[in-house]
Amino acid sequence: MPRELLIQVTPETAHNELLLQEHVAKLFQVAVSEIQKVVVLKRSIDARQKAIKFNIKANVFLKGEPYSESAIELPDYPNVSNAQEVIVVGAGPAGLFAALQLIELGLKPIVIERGKDVRGRRRDLKAINRDHIVNEDSNYCFGEGGAGTYSDGKLYTRSKKRGDVDRILRLLVAFGATPDILVEAHPHIGTNKLPQIIQDIREKIIECGGQVLFETRVSDFLIKSNEIQGVVTQNGDTISANKVILATGHSARDIFELLDRKKILIEAKPFALGVRAEHPQALIDKIQYSCDFRGAYLPPAPYSIVKQVNGRGMYSFCMCPGGVIAPCATSPGEVVTNGWSPSKRDQATANSGIVVELKLEDFKPFARFGALAGMEFQKAIEQKAWHLAGGSSASELAKQTQKVPAQRMVDFTQNKVSSSIPKTSYVPGTTSVELGQVFPGFLTQIMREGFVQFGKSMRGYMTNEAILHAPESRTSSPVRIPRDHETLEHLQIKGLYPCGEGAGFAGGIISAAIDGEKCALKIAESLSK
């Protein structure tokens, strides 16, 4: 039987198999040749002391003990060409993993995606970055793989109670992700590697008899006696099924509006909103690692910070070490920021959303919109930011811009317009704006005080080298589509399964994938009765 070991080692030892075996041999007081294999189960950084260490959890196999490497393989998916059909609206992680689970359960998924396939999206991402042209159906939020595909591919989740995180990670490895995601405390695939994995998932769905329809937007739901009958596409085509998984993502405003228009129950949901802050990565490394140069064995440093300011949480969100800031608008006349990192996290800058939790009472100025009040609050800030950064008037929308308002961090805390904004990683560009003009007064005040508190906790963080980009507004859905706790069906419409981030039941790739699988399991359960 292997021996489980919890140890602390140097960064170099953590990344060198031979050095790790030598370290373990000394602990066991045996020759290195007696160590057959050290299988690392979990790895994390401990940077609390000056001498940075890695925490390692491992199984140690001594010479002569049974050990064999087992490859991680996909389930034995059946062919479902002639099986009962289930519509899955949205090809993000919730939709794709719902589709895979449906196939595993012997059901045929019809995946309907408003955007393009994962490769085709690239042209539209280039257009929004270089030409400031927003394709409302294909952008950083919409398209195969969903918002996570081209905004980092972070796999860390705090939602351990929601389901089997390891199952999702192992499926990703079976589809081509590095096995390191099973080991790292904060696993990450990278925007440059995730598209191939997404493509392979889609090809498996099709190979097994499922369907995937791109550039197909749902424009209506077919409902009879409060039971779902299918959907209608933007071309007027009808796709019939009495089970529909609605996994459209947190930015599908047209779907929220459609549900509201049809009197299908939805609720306003609090979310968080703020700015995206960019620092030199070397500065974050210096703060986090307490050294001038992190060396070859330490990754670009992340950070996580939370403060309570005037009774509100203000915190870092979707932190991207060695990453860049991206334009994530989904309609002309608005600007939205997000961040991503390539797999090596080798860019010169670090960025993070710095956001403040909102409350339902904050949406009172938009109360006339009912359940869409939070969405309209969100939209108003994005449109205001667009105008302040140089957006055209409504009659000149053809003269589009995706520049965002920006301000140096210290200047923002002092209510001072920055005299200059250096070039940042945000490709469409920035306009120097006093960001207090973008946000409601209460939000501006909280952020100003919060950044001062951040600077006291992370010495060096509060600097005019840091550039704030506004707004970071798509942290989660502004709407919840309520569902029954047991069946996961919509409270009002039988056969409709609100799912993932867009429905308010997930927050990230892993939790969305778990929720997609849950909905698929509930559908199979209902059909077996």
Q: Write the CATH number for 211.
A: 3.50.50.60
Q: Which residue has the higher pLDDT, 227 or 153?
A: 227
Count of other CB atoms within 10 angstroms of residue 390: 17
Number of domain units in the chain: 3
74 domain-assigned: no
144 in the same domain as 41 = no
Looking at residue 18, which CATH number applies to its domain?
Answer: 3.30.70
**What residues form DSSP beta bridges with 479?**
268
Instruction: Report the distance separating Cα 377 and Cα 369, nearest Å.
Output: 10
29 in the same domain as 111 = no
Could you write out the DSSP letters of every residue in 73-104?
Answer: ----PPP-TTSPEEEEE--SHHHHHHHHHHHH
Q: In 3D, which of 14, 1, 10, 81 has the Cα closest to residue 43?
A: 14
Is the model's pLDDT at 344 over the cut of 90?
Answer: no
Binned at pLDDT 50, 70 and 90, residue 343 comes out as: confident
Instruction: Report the distance separating Cα 304 and Cα 458, nearest Å.
Output: 10
Provide the percentage of residues in the chain whose pLDDT is more than 90: 87
In angstroms, how far is CA 424 from the centroid of its own chain? 22
Whole domain around residue 450: which residue ranges?
272-472
In angstroms, how far is CA 211 from the centroid of its own chain? 25
Instruction: Report the distance separating Cα 267 and Cα 482, nearest Å.
Output: 7
Question: Which residues, 6+ apart, have CB-to-CB distance to 211 below 8 Å?
Answer: 108, 109, 110, 111
Comparing 85-99, 152-166, 423-437, the range with the smallest average pLDDT is 152-166
78 domain-assigned: no
Instruction: Please give the structure tokens belonging to residue 500.
Output: 């993932």
237 domain-assigned: yes
111 in the same domain as 252 = yes
Could you write out the DSSP letters of every residue in 433-452?
Answer: --GGGTS-HHHHHHHHHHHH
CA angle, corner 229, sides to 227 and 233, nearest 5? 130
77 domain-assigned: no
- State pLDDT tens for residues 21-34: 999 999 999 999 99
The chain-wide mean pLDDT, for the chain, equals 94
Is the model's pLDDT at 243 over the cut of 60?
Answer: yes
Instruction: Report the distance separating Cα 252 and Cα 91, nearest Å.
Output: 13
Comparing 68-72, 210-214, 314-318, 436-440, the range with the smallest average pLDDT is 68-72
69 domain-assigned: no
Q: Which residue has the tokens 């019809």?
A: 110
Task: Tell me the longest C-alpha to C-alpha distance in the chain.
Answer: 78
461 in the same domain as 319 = yes
419 in the same domain as 281 = yes
71 domain-assigned: no
283 in the same domain as 262 = no
160 in the same domain as 127 = yes
φ, ψ of residue 5 in degrees (nearest 5)? -130, 135
Is the model's pLDDT at 94 over the cut of 90?
Answer: yes
Comparing 40-49, 270-279, 381-390, 412-421, the range with the smallest average pLDDT is 40-49
Binned at pLDDT 50, 70 and 90, residue 395 comes out as: very low
Is the model's pLDDT at 177 over the cut of 50?
Answer: yes
Count of other CB atoms within 10 angstroms of residue 387: 18
Instruction: Report the distance separating Cα 5 and Cα 57, nearest Å.
Output: 6
21 in the same domain as 158 = no
10 torsion bin: left (phi>0), alpha (psi -120 to 50), beta (else): beta
Q: Which residue has the tokens 């811009």?
A: 401
72 domain-assigned: no
pTM for this structure? 0.94
290 in the same domain as 217 = no
Provide the percentage of residues in the chain whose pLDDT is more than 70: 97
Binned at pLDDT 50, 70 and 90, residue 189 comes out as: confident
238 in the same domain as 102 = yes
Is the model's pLDDT at 131 over the cut of 80?
Answer: yes
Is the model's pLDDT at 161 over the cut of 60?
Answer: no
Instruction: Report the distance separating Cα 40 and Cα 240, nearest Å.
Output: 48
Comparing 42-46, 176-180, 184-188, 260-264, the range with the smallest average pLDDT is 184-188
Is the model's pLDDT at 392 over the cut of 80?
Answer: no
100 in the same domain as 161 = yes
Reduced to 3 states, what is the DSSP secondary structure of residue 261?
helix
Fill in the DSSP letter of residue 188.
B
So what's the pLDDT on residue 529? 78
276 in the same domain as 262 = no
φ, ψ of residue 9 in degrees (nearest 5)? -135, 170
**What residues form DSSP beta bridges with 454?**
none
70 domain-assigned: no
